[in-house]
Structure 1
Amino acid sequence: MNCYKGFFNLLNFSGGIKLIPREYLYSNPNGSFPKISPDGKHLAFLAPRKGVMNIFVCLNSYDVDKAKVITCENRRIVEYYWTYDNNYILYSYDKDGCEEYKIYIVNIITTEMTCLTPYDNVRSMFVQLSPKNPNRIIVAINKPNPNANSLYQINYKTGVITLIEENTQFFEEYTVDDSLKIRCAKRLIKKKDKKDKINEEVCIKDENSNKWRSIITYGIKNARSLKLISIDDEGTIYLVDSRRNEFSAICKLNTSDKELRTEFARPQNQKADINKILLHPKTKKPIAYSVTYLKDKWYCIDEKISYDLDFLRKFNDGELDILSQSLDNKIWTVAFESGNQPPKYYLYNRDNRSINHLFDAYPKLEKYVLAQVFPLVIKSRDDLDLVCYLTLPAGKYDPSTEYKPKKPLPLILHVHGGPWTRDYYGFKADSQFFANRGYAVLNVNYRSSVGLGRSLICAGVGQWGKKMNDDLIDAAKWAISEKIAIKEKIAIYGGSYGGFATLAGLALTNKNENFTFACGVEFSGPSDLDNICSVLKINNPIRTIPSYWKPSYDEFIYRLGGDPDTVKGLKYLQSCSPSNYADNINKPLLIAQGKNDPRVKYEEKNIIAKTLKHNKIPVGYILYCDEGHGFAKPENMLSFVALKEKFLSECLGGKCEAPQLLNHTK
């Protein structure tokens, strides 16, 4: 293992809150994502088989203790679907982290498994299953052109696969109705004769001519403001749209020569975007939706389910997620979780208003005191509202205050990935783990985070390593001023974009800020923005990013804020790249990476590690040879957790469990 030593001295602690074993938080859950079959007779869920998440099925029963395993994969399954004939389950699977997913089907009785997309060096994705055509599915595969996802129809009874739409126009996504007809598609287009050179376009397909016709066009500044949801049984198209407002609404689109868009659902006093949308499983009409600002709040569209939503809210006040529905919409599988409540899964019967417990994700945690999580809003220096979540260790919280500890604590500033995602008020293993070790934890929805309005997303354009970094500094300074954090004991931590932010926080933070992080921990984060752009380019000999990312390239360049094909753009990207400022890093750093990562070349991190080692700065570099972007194998995750726990203990003085380093590293 290439891990530069010099800072891994184990500290011993006793007394106080009992330490939660690492494996209780980071091993596979006891079970997850239960889904009811369309006829409501069978139940499937994910659970460990020999330490790997596989699919289990309860036949003609909801008794999870009698479930049988029907798959035997050696890398976790994360996505699966029932077929509408109720006899099979479809799932996607990636063997080694390279994101070349294949689609498989397994018979729930015989457990016979077949690969439906047996192609190498391509990625297959689910697009549509339909109760009207139960034996056929639509999938997207980046073949024959590896740079675009074309649509295929598969008859899974015969195994016949047919190309139905070759993606010659580089659409990013398609919408298919229940008749398995291709109806809509979205793409980025360049308009050389327009001031706004890049537009996003929604097209519909003419059934008679089989040609595409543009119905909505809007500028790149509004990208990610519109998402197609569904097409109901009457042919109405539903979408989430915020192009004309700060926050999104559910809209209906009746296609004609000109766009005809009407709002279908929007809450009063809205502070955030539409989050979850519940469709009727037969009609595909939206029947409920949620909006998430600090916490998630559900709104009813169809009054027939208003009682059900009220019942579930009263049953558990955690964040509600409706995971699956029987085709008649009478049986649901639901989950509840909160900042200090791991997911709990239930079967809800709308007919008799009964709810039955299926399983908990992490039942072993019931013996431990979990940390309190406080949703709050922090102002950025330019007056943006940053929705944040503060986690305080159990026993350290002062109940006489709104969200403050009894005295300042070491703090972990945890930066989410993406960056076009967001943090929610849900159970986070990292937050509970760090808090259990004695740290406060602060999750920040910095500019570029989604779901909190167009302004926050747009404010992040061209701000990697700049104002996006400022938001994190502002959050850290707020924690100091509120006497939550010890100024000299604040670490920055994250993966993917969060890994980039960690490197930027250590290398690019302006000396005028009068603030420095004490250390950093990052995994799978890019360090060279020019290199990201280079590997995104098609026919580039150093490309590692999947070729089907090509349709998103122009938007990605726009959001980064610099075109590497221009002198000015290249210079800008270089100014935002931590790899060019590695000599500025003078605090301990721990780096982890998957060798098969198709998005970030692991050589980037090795360069930074060597620079820090040369400068005699404590640095650890770990390369997992059987992982991609992030960690899928529990044994790898546990070894990384052990390393970061020791590292943070040495740097910040938190508690530490006995070390456990596993194999699979280099």
Structure 2
Amino acid sequence: MKKTIAILALIITSTSFGVEKYPVEHFFKDSAMLSPALSPDGQYLAALTPLNINKETVSRCKKKTTKNKSRSGVVDFCDVSRRNIVVFNLGDPNPNCKKGIISECERIRVTQLRSQNVTGFVWVNNSRIMFQTGGDQLNDMTGAIDSIGIYAVNKDGTEPKQLVKPSDAITNSKIISTIPLSLLPFDPEHILVMRNDRKRYQLDIYKMNVYTGKFNRQLLPPGPVVAWGADNDGAVRLAAMQDENSLNYETQIMYRDDEDSEWREIDRFEGLQNGWSDIGFTEDNSKIYVTSNLGQDTYSISLFDPETGMMEDLFASEGTDVTSIGFTPTGEAITVLYNDIDTKPKRHYLNKEWEQTIEGLKAAFDVDYVGIASMSEYAEKMIITIASDTIPGEYYLYDTIKNTVTFLGSTKPWIDPKTMSPMQPVNFEARDGETIYGFLTVPLDSDGKNLPLIVNPHGGPFGIQDRWGFNPETQYFANQGYAVMQINFRGSGGYGKRYEKIGYKRWGLEMQDDISDGVQWAINQGIADKDHVCIYGASYGGYATMAGITLTPELYSCAVNYVGIWDLEMLYKQDGRWDDRLGRWFRNHVIDIKEDKEQLKKKPLRVTILKKIKAPFFYCSWP
């Protein structure tokens, strides 16, 4: 990634401004702190922090002149760190710790991973932490398989246990997923998980022992279940069923009153982009909070009564999907979380007391939004976050009993927000009249005119959306003197099902036109220098890069395709990955290779004509 960015910065000419230019590492080196979380009793705090894996061999690394070779290629692990879990004892009697100086509290690094990162963790009780990993190497396997492993360790670093081994998750080339569903408040030694060990697209419910890794199947599913829902006590009471051979993706919602009751159907609907899903039960477990787009374009929040089948509308945001609610650990719904049309984070309060608390914190910090990263079980303590387009992230411990706030740390404390460039929401009209949304970031001390432009289409593409917030790539480019444009072309998520659906089967067509029209808009506005525009994208963004430099070569003076797609027909045929259900999805959403041959001939959906590439071009792929 760093090499890709450095090369991109070199192959187009930037405008020199007075702001200090920072090196790549300033933006991309490992964060100092990530994902802080409180134990249920609030006495301990765990967080991800970097561990220099070569601390004991720094001198050897400095003398190193050649790179190590592994089976997968060339790897150099010198000067590399890995994210590991550190646990802080907030009850440490140390006077400075009592004053709230977290760095003075007793701490223990409970993991010492050297070949991988800890990618996520959760407190499963007051003593035990369960975590997942991903990264460079594990048992000679790389890539997505790394993250299948699940582990657990005590807060003092004792009793480490691998609960799910990556090698156990591969059976006849089938990936068996283990997905946490619910903690069990009355059984701290177990959690509920979902596993697809019987059928690829069907999930069964198991109890998993967080000390031994032993699985026990809990119930017989009422049919081909693809998703489950549990109430606040850990009782499984909801099931979404889909027949994998169904041509219309019909979903059947099953419900039961308690664990001893029979399953009954409470709803049925068709389509992948149509229906509702549960967010959580009410605190008394009688009703269900759902996000639904039935009978409307965008998702909104409703309260579903399984006894009557009635939906009570709670909140909708015009033009954007709303899919999330913030709960306390005991299940009290406090606020709807959503993004406005500019994708800035917003709240709609469901609880007046919590509204006063959060609005008071906003006023104290003088910010538009305060996030809540973690709470103790009864919300005596919470970790709040401050972040924006120029602030990578700051964490604070808020004691609701003492009404005190203590600084915990920053994700990137070496970055001064005053040196970062604001991310400006923009919109423009595409050639067919569709309104397209996106973002423009310009160098901090420029006048925003006649700048070299990097257009950065996102991956996916369907359901994915570029959002307002701190982006290290964008900030690096802006710091080096480039304007950056991110476009949520049709097919992107977050704007309702119509906006996503008009992108289906339009790769290289209207989806690409939206990007081209965005570039032309920036040129017409005097923002971009038409002779210095580069396109850079990964995954689908890589496909858009190829389409851009072959279909509209006059627009771009350079291009970078990072792990991107070259050819749709080759993508469809490779590895048999699009068999059965996935194949049907590909034919309905991207292209039907058999039925759409005329379209392949007449329309620029196959980006393979290298002779059309006129601009400098760089391609980066996995080894």
TM-score range, shorter chain: 0.7 to 0.9
Cα separation, partners in 2 of 1:190 and 1:104, compared to 1, 3 Å: closer
For structure 2, list consecutive stretches of 5 or more residues without a partner in the other structure.
53-80, 92-99, 171-175
Q: What CA distance in whole angstroms lies between the structure 2 residues aligned with 1:262 and 1:181?
A: 24
Structure 1 position 290 matched with structure 2 position 338: yes
Does the alignment pair 1:20 with 2:47? no
1:170–1:54: structure 2 CA closer, same or farther, 3 Å change rule?
Answer: farther
- State the distance in 1 between where 2:244 and 2:212 align: 41
Which of 65, 89, 103 pairs up with 1:59? 89
| Code of the aligned partner of 1:79 | G
What SS class does the counterpart of residue 35 from structure 2 fall into?
Answer: strand
Query: Which residue in 2 is equivalent to 1:317?
Result: 367
**1:425-464 alignment, distance < 5 Å:** 425-464=468-507
Q: Which amino acid aligns with 1:466?
A: L
Q: Secondary structure at the match of 1:464?
A: coil
Q: How does 1:318-337 map to 2 (within 5 A)?
A: 319-337=369-387
Q: Which amino acid aligns with 2:516?
A: I
Superposed displacement of residue 161, structure 1: 1.0
How many angstroms does 1:313 deviate by?
2.1
Distance in 1 of aligned mates of 2:310 and 2:17 = 66
Partner amino acid, structure 1, of 2:617: L
- Say if 2:527 is the partner of 1:484: yes
Measure the CA separation in 1 of the matches of 2:516 and 2:208: 51
Can you give the 5+ residue segments of structure 1 that lack an aligned partner in the other structure? 398-404, 536-541, 595-622, 624-666
What displacement does 1:147 show? Answer: 4.9
Do the aligned residues in 1 keep the contact of 2:387 with 2:470 (CA within 8 Å)?
yes
Distance in 2 between residues matched to 1:13 and 1:300, nearest whole Å:
45
Which of 133, 151, 174 aligns to 1:93? It is 133
Report 1:528-539 matches (<5 A).
528-534=567-573
Written as runs of structure 1 = structure 2, the 5 A alignment for 1:226-237 is: 226-232=276-282, 233-237=284-288
Out of 390, 395, 401, the residue aligned to residue 445 of structure 2 is: 395
For residue 49 of structure 1, report the CA deviation from its aligned partner. 0.8
**Does the 8 A contact of 1:206 with 1:213 survive in 2?**
no
Task: Indicate the residue corresponding to 1:70 in structure 2.
Answer: 110
Query: How does the TM-score come out when normalised to structure 1?
Result: 0.77
Q: 1:560-596, CA deviations, whole angstroms, 9 ceiling, x for partnerless residues? A: 2x334xx2146656856444444433322222222xx
After TM superposition, list the pairs within 5 Å mapping 1:594-609 onto structure 2.
594=622
> Structure 1, residues 195-246: CA drift from partner, whole Å, max 9, x if none?
x8333443335768987654333332634x6332112332312111122223
State the partner residue of 1:301.
Answer: 350
Instruction: Pick one of 358, 383, 390 that aligns with 2:433.
Output: 383
Q: 1:249 to 1:442 in 2, by over 3 A?
A: same
Q: What's the CA shift string for 1:451-504, capped at 9, x where partnerless?
A: 222321122122222211111111111100100001121111122222222222
Change (3 A) 1:13 1:488: closer
Looking at structure 2, the residues matched to 491 and 369 of structure 1 have their Cα atoms a distance apart, in angstroms, of 24
Change (3 A) 1:147 1:371: same
User: Partner of 2:215 in structure 1?
Assistant: 161
**Residue matched to 1:412:** 454
What is the CA–CA distance in structure 2 between the aligned matches of 1:292 and 1:166, rounded to whole Å? Answer: 42
Number of paired residues? 561
Structure 2 counterpart SS, 1:143: strand
Q: Distance in 2 between matches of 1:144 and 1:190?
A: 14
Task: Name the SS for the 2:150 alignment partner.
Answer: strand
Deviation sequence 1:126-163 (CA, Å, 0-9, x none)? 22223233221122333133454433211224542112
Q: Distance in 1 between matches of 2:297 and 2:11?
A: 50
| 2:524 paired with 1:524 | no
Number of the residue aligned with 1:82? 123
1:586-619 residue CA offsets vs partner (Å, 9 max, x unmatched): 322222222xxxxxxxxxxxxxxxxxxxxxxxxx
The question of 1:251 aligning with 2:290 is answered no
CA–CA distance in 1 between the matches of 2:16 and 2:545? Answer: 31
Letter of the 2:39 partner, please give it: S
Percentage of identical aligned residues: 24
Separation in 1, partners of 2:242, 2:606: 29
Change (3 A) 1:572 1:43: farther
**Aligned-residue offset at 1:437:** 1.0
Instruction: Tell me the SS of whatever aligns to 1:338.
Output: coil
| Matched position secondary structure for 1:470 | helix
* Aligned residues: CA RMSD: 3.2
Task: Report the secondary structure of 1:222's partner residue.
Answer: coil
Is residue 2:303 matched to residue 1:240? no
> Structure 2: which amino acid aligns with 1:77?
V
Give 1:500's aligned residue: 543
* Deviation for aligned residue 1:187: 4.7
Distance 1:356 1:243 in 2: 44
AA partner of residue 141 (structure 1): R
Whole-Å separation in 1 of the counterparts to 2:190 and 2:143: 28
- Measure the CA separation in 2 of the matches of 1:572 and 1:217: 35
Separation (CA, whole Å) in 1 of partners of 2:126 and 2:380:
16
Q: Secondary structure of 1:305's match?
A: helix
Letter in 2 for 1:135: E
Q: For residue 351 of structure 1, what is the aligned residue in structure 2?
A: 401
C-alpha distance 153-563 of structure 1, shift in aligned 2 (>3 A): farther
Distance, in Å, in 2 between the alignment partners of 1:240 and 1:186 is 14
Taking a change above 3 Å as real, the CA distance of residues 516 and 282 of structure 1, as seen in their structure-2 partners, is same
Which among 262, 280, 286 is matched to residue 312 of structure 2?
A: 262
Label 1:6 to 1:304 Cα distance change in 2 as closer, same or farther (>3 A): closer
The one-letter code of the counterpart of 2:489 is Y
Which residue number in structure 2 is paired with residue 475 of structure 1? 518
Contact 1:188 1:552 in 2 (8 A): no
Which is worse superposed, 570-579 or 175-184?
570-579
3-state DSSP class of the match of 1:220?
coil
Greater relative contact order, per chain length (Cα 8 Å cut-off, separation 6+):
1
Matching residue of 1:558: 588
Question: What per-residue deviation string (whole Å, max 9, x for no partner) do you get for residues 269-295 of structure 1?
Answer: x34222542112202535443333212
Instruction: Note the C-alpha offset of 1:440.
Output: 0.2
CA distance in 2 between partners of 1:148 and 1:521 (Å): 39
SS across alignment from 1:480: helix
In 2, the alpha carbon distance for the partners of 1:391 and 1:413 equals: 10
Change in Cα spacing, 1:441 to 1:208, as seen in structure 2 (3 Å) is: closer
Using the size of structure 2 for normalisation, the TM-score is: 0.82
Give the Cα–Cα distance (whole angstroms) in 2 for the partners of residues 9 and 485 of structure 1. Answer: 17
Q: Secondary structure at the match of 1:435?
A: helix
Q: 2:226 aligns with which of 154, 172, 192?
A: 172
Whole-Å separation in 1 of the counterparts to 2:583 and 2:403: 49
Aligned 8 A contact 1:503 1:578 in 2: no
Say if 2:157 is the partner of 1:129. no
Distance 2:255 2:428 in 1: 42
Paired residue type of 2:370: L
Task: Show the counterpart of 1:648.
Answer: none
- Structure 2 contact 429–435 (Cα < 8 Å) conserved: yes
- CA distance in 2 between counterparts of 1:12 and 1:431 reads 14
- CA 1:336/1:378 → structure 2, altered by over 3 Å: closer, same or farther? farther
Asked if 2 retains the 8 angstrom alpha-carbon contact of 1:34 and 1:43, the reply is yes
**SS of the residue 2:198 aligns to:** coil
Amino acid at match of 1:529: L
Classify 1:311/1:576 alpha carbon distance in 2 versus 1 (closer, same or farther; 3 Å).
farther
